[in-house]
Amino acid sequence: MLAAVAAVPRERFVAPGDVERAWDNRALGIACGQTISQPLVVARMCEALAPAPGARVLDVGTGSGYHAAVLAALGADVVSVEIVPELSVQAAANLAAAGIDGIELVVGDGRAGHPPRAPYDGICVAATADREIPRALLDQLASGGRLVAPIRSGRRERLVLVTRDAGGALARQDLDEVRFVPLV
Ligand code: SAH
């Protein structure tokens, strides 16, 4: 995990004025009022997702492309969906500048998942859903698959890990308290 984080040049994914601060353990602003997630939170989510090499992973909320890049550094086969076209274009440029290829970027509403490549061994969501994980995402989770997403209930916002067992049943576990932008 730490090797994957160290392998991705985070400074390529932040705004030009933030290069000096790129590795601070905090979220930083990118374009369109969005943020690049805090490095420790990306690491924590990747750890909970635990993708095996070659695992098919859906990343919802491409943003800067940083989280997708760390997943790819872990050996996952990543498809990443972003709702703001401009951010997806910038993420493509960031990934190219970082010398990372093989990530499929899709512009669309990640609440619908990405059916063409479903089911996914891993799904990670970088924007907070209100109370419920979108049904389409759970439906696109493979047997043995793991989903990590921030969920808000009332004033609390926490990461949840949902696993689907070999029989198809879903189980949910609460992880850390976090703060993300809303899933829109
Ligand atoms: N993973 C990103 C963090 C991005 S912040 C990174 O490493 O930089 C969350 C992102 O989710 C924002 O870019 C926002 O535009 C996007 N987003 C919000 N709602 C979405 C939706 N319904 N579908 C896809 N992306 C969404």
Is 119 inside any structural domain? yes
By three-state DSSP, how is residue 6 classified?
helix
- Is 143 assigned a catalytic role? no
Ligand 1 neighbour 39 (Cβ under 6 A): no
Pocket probe for ligand 1: among 42, 83, 86, the residue whose CB has the most ligand atoms within 8 Å is 83
pLDDT band at 1 (very low <50, low <70, confident <90, very high): confident
Is 182 inside any structural domain? no
CATH number where 119 lies: 3.40.50.150
Is 59 inside any structural domain? yes
Asked whether 87 and 32 are in contact (CB, 8 A), the reply is yes
Average pLDDT over residues 79-108: 98
The CA–CA distances, whole Å, from 119 to 76, 99, 114, 115 equal 14, 28, 9, 8
Other beta carbons less than 10 A from residue 143's beta carbon: 13
Ligand 1 neighbour 136 (Cβ under 6 A): no
* pLDDT score, position 2: 86
* pLDDT score, position 102: 96
Ligand 1 neighbour 134 (Cβ under 6 A): no
pLDDT band at 130 (very low <50, low <70, confident <90, very high): very high
Is 173 inside any structural domain? yes
Mean pLDDT of the chain: 96
Determine the Cα–Cα distance for residues 42 and 27; give it in Å rounded to an integer.
10
Please give the residue range of the domain that contains residue 72: 2-177
By three-state DSSP, how is residue 27 classified?
coil
